Amino acid sequence: MRVNSRPRSERKPVDPSTCFFCLSNPQLAQHFIVSIGEESYVTTAKGPLPLSDSQGLDCPGHILIIPLSHSPTLASIPDSTTRKDTMTEMVKYRRSVEKMLAQHGYVAVGFEISRHSGIHFHVQVIPVPDSKVVAVKSEFERAAKKNGYTVIERDEEDNDGGDDDEDFFKVYLGGKKILYISLSPEVRFDLQFGRKVLATILGLPERSDWKSCVQDEKDEVKDAEQFKTLFKPYDFTLPE
């Protein structure tokens, strides 16, 4: 997602028909989609951080978990039942991806930005080799301190965030702990912060900007199909 330099008050509103993450957008690139649930769906990433040939997965493994509701935060989904169901299903998807990646020697490190000034909430998940996981917490803390952010380590709870009405950035460490940064509404937060930190951890600083990693459509399709194949045994939306 591109950072818009125009003041927030002057930005044009984005509705579902033009949102990059809404299934109702006729221009949505559907070849990225790998699973659709009742309240959310999963896609591979455009301009993925990892390289396809260095993962041992035959695909980058970088995915997004996206709610069907067009809302900047989970807490701002109007209907309480939809909000709860969306939150529950997104956690279920993330847990399923964690299990899949663990079978291949990776930890699923996820991150999300929840801001009321945003457009469409989503969670990104990137596979990190087991050998590099020890650096995740310390590197996020180092980068946060450098940028003037305060990191709090918390226990993860499946309902955490759904009722949290403040702006925040959160990192899922692939276990029962999360890193949490509270964001003041007036503070400008780098939307690529999570990706940049993980690019450093993975030794891929040149891939910290997704726009420099965009693939040909045939490679995007190939990677999506490979991820779908790997994920099939863990995809709870498929009939048993």
pLDDT digits (tens, 9 = 90+) for 76-121: 999 999 999 999 999 999 999 999 999 999 999 999 999 999 999 9
Tell me what the pLDDT averaged over the chain comes to.
Answer: 90
* Total residue count of the chain as it appears in this document: 240
Q: Which amino acid is at 29?
A: A
Q: Give the tokens for residue 161.
A: 């965030």
Q: Report the distance separating Cα 97 and Cα 61, nearest Å.
A: 9
Q: Report the distance separating Cα 161 and Cα 179, nearest Å.
A: 13
Please report which confidence band the pLDDT of residue 159 belongs to, taking 50, 70 and 90 as the band edges: very low
What domains are defined for the chain? 29-234 (3.30.428.10)
Q: Are 89 and 36 in contact (CB under 8 A)?
A: no
pTM: 0.92
